[in-house]
Each structure stands twice: as structure tokens, then as C-alpha cells.
């Protein structure tokens, strides 16, 4: 069909379809480990949608197996198992990389995380928890801000000015934070690693190094993180040395991951 013969209401229909998809995803995003069940009333209150619209969307999600009606509300449906299994298999790290993270965590007794860029966030894609009772833990899949933190300083090494500006605007400090970000990035590039102490959360410290792709660009950040009281200057130096060695070994094997853009 030529553009001249295209129905006048088709763009509006397309727009409505996109809005419906976004609304359905907004409903699913209300579910979490802390809140595994939501009610129609909660969905309407938190999305701002009319109750009739919420009911229609929930019924559609339920028919697809993405939601399941329980006694107290709606919980994740069995249809999500397929997507969860697919995501897990697609994001599985090579055995050698997982073993390297386990060994690093065993030696240093701090939490090991692997982060990658996604827009103005860093995503935790793998983790080896510290064996110590007091430890730093994020969940795999968590999106954290890029305006602070050791991993951000190495992940943003090749970032364009436009991305840094967007990150700064999203921070508590505003657009002027770009200058500080550049200083952090330059310092991390010069010494090959970065550290942070209480920049995002009081009492939390981290040391990070970049993982390089075949082209030499930064594709991920490998970190050790934990309570600041355990990250003394001598420990930070030792952590950085160990992280750089592990990073070289992983990079030399050829680190690959679904989030790495094709070139």
C-alpha cells in the first residue's frame, strides 16, 4: 500500500499499540522479590491508569501466562519461565570467567561483580558474593546509576560527551557534574583502575578495572566491593593488582556477552 493510500488512522493505531505494550510492561515491573503480588487497586494507583484499562491489560497478560490470579492479587505467571530460561542461557558467562570470579572472591573475601553499560545505567550481569557476614550484594539484573562508583569510572572511558551530560543531569549534582566525571575517567584511564569510597552509598567502597574487547574498547567492569572499613589504602592497592591480573586473563581469552555491540 502506498503512503497516499494508507489509512489515516493507522499511525494512531500504531501509537495506541505502543502505549498498550508500555502499560503492560509497567504493570509487570511493579512485581519484585519484595512485592511478588499486586492487586488491581495497587496497579491503578501506581500507574495512574483507569481501573477498566488495568482490568483489560491484566486479563490480556493473564491469558498469555505472564500473570497469574492468586487469592490476594496477581503474581508472576508460568509463561515467564520460558523467558527466564532463555535469558539465563543467553547471559551465561563462560565457565572460565565464572571460575575466575569465584577464585578472586575466595582470595579477597569481598563481593565480585561484573557490570556492563546500558544507556545511563550500569547493569550487574554476574556476581560472586563475599563469604563474610557483612558484605555488599546487588542482584543480577539490577541497574545502578553511572554518576558515581568505581565501575562507572572505568565503564565510561570511551563515553561521548552527550552521554556524560545525560548521566550528570540524572545525578543529584546536575549538569555541572560532567567535569567531575571527566576527572574520574581520566584518572582511571591513567592508572588502569578506579576506586570509590561512599560516593553512592555511605560506608560502601569498591575497586574496579576494565574488561577489554577484541578491539581494545571497554566492554565491562570487574569489581571488588564491600564495607569501607575493610578497604584501607594497602588493601585497595592489593585489590587493584589482583583485579588487573584477572581482567587480563579474561580479556585475553576473548570476553563475549550479549550486551557487547557488534562492530
Mean pLDDT of all residues in the chain?
A: 88
| Start and end residues for every CATH 1.10.10.10 domain found in the chain | 3-80
- 108/255: higher pLDDT: 108
Confidence at residue 62, expressed as pLDDT on a 0 to 100 scale: 93
Q: What is the grid cell recorded at 115?
A: 557490570
Mean pLDDT across the stretch 154-182?
95
Buried residues in 56-83 as b, exposed as e (16+ CB within 10 A): ebbeebeeeebbbeeeebbebbebbeee
- For 3-80, which CATH class? mainly alpha
Q: Please say if the pLDDT value at position 6 is more than 50.
A: no
* pLDDT tens column, 115-153: 999 899 999 989 999 999 988 888 888 889 999 999 999
Which class is 91-253 in CATH?
A: alpha beta
- Lowest-confidence pick of 14-18, 38-42, 169-173, 177-181: 14-18
- Tell me the pLDDT tens digit for each residue of 179-228: 999 999 999 999 999 999 999 899 999 999 999 887 788 999 999 999 99
pLDDT, tens digit (0-9, with 9 covering 90-100), for 55-91: 999 999 999 999 999 989 999 999 888 887 677 666 6
CATH 3.30.450.40 segments of the chain: 91-253
Q: How far is it, in rounded angstroms, from Cα 61 to Cα 21?
A: 10
- What is the per-residue DSSP string for the chain? --GGGS-TTHHHHHHHHHHHHHHHHHHHHT--SS---B-HHHHHHHH---HHHHHHHHHHHHHTTSEEE-SSSEEE-TTHHHHHHHHHHHSPPPHHHHHHHHHHHHHH-SEEEEEEEETTEEEEEEEE--SSSS-----TT-EEESSSSHHHHHHGGG--HHHHHHHHHTSTT-TTHHHHHHHHHHHHHHHS-EEEESSSSTTEEEEEEEEE-TTS-EEEEEEEEEEGGG--HHHHHHHHHHHHHHHHHHHHH----TTSPP-
Res 241 pLDDT > 90: yes
Amino acid at each position: 500500500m502506498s503512503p497516499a493510500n494508507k489509512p489515516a488512522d493507522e499511525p494512531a493505531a500504531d501509537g495506541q499499540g505502543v502505549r498498550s505494550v508500555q502499560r503492560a510492561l509497567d504493570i509487570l515491573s511493579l512485581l519484585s522479590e519484595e512485592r511478588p503480588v499486586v492487586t488491581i487497586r495497587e496497579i491503578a494507583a501506581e500507574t495512574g491508569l483507569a481501573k477498566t484499562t488495568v482490568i483489560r491489560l491484566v486479563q490480556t497478560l493473564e491469558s498469555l501466562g505472564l500473570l497469574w490470579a492468586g487469592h490476594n492479587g496477581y503474581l508472576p505467571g508460568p509463561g515467564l519461565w520460558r523467558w527466564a530460561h532463555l535469558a539465563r542461557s543467553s547471559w551465561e558467562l563462560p565457565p572460565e570467567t565464572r571460575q575466575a570470579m569465584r577464585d578472586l572472591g575466595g582470595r579477597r573475601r569481598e563481593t565480585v561483580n561484573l557490570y556492563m553499560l546500558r544507556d545511563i545505567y550500569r547493569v550487574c550481569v554476574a556476581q560472586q558474593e563475599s563469604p563474610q557476614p557483612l558484605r555488599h550484594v546487588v542482584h543480577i539484573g539490577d541497574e545502578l546509576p553511572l554518576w558515581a562508583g568505581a565501575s562507572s569510572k572505568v565503564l565510561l572511558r570511551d563515553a561521548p560527551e552527550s552521554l556524560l551530560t545525560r548521566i550528570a543531569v540524572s545525578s543529584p549534582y546536575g549538569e555541572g557534574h560532567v567535569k567531575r566525571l571527566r576527572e574520574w575517567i581520566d584518572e582511571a584511564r591513567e592508572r588502569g583502575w578506579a576506586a570509590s569510597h561512599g560516593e553512592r552509598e555511605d560506608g560502601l567502597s569498591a575497586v574496579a578495572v576494565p574488561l577489554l574487547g577484541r578491539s581494545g574498547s571497554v566492554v565491562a567492569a570487574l569489581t571488588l566491593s564491600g564495607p569501607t572499613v575493610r578497604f584501607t589504602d594497602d588493601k585497595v592497592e592489593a585489590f587493584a593488582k589482583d583485579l588487573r591480573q584477572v581482567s587480563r586473563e579474561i580479556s585475553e581469552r576473548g570476553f563475549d556477552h550479549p550486551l557487547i555491540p557488534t562492530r
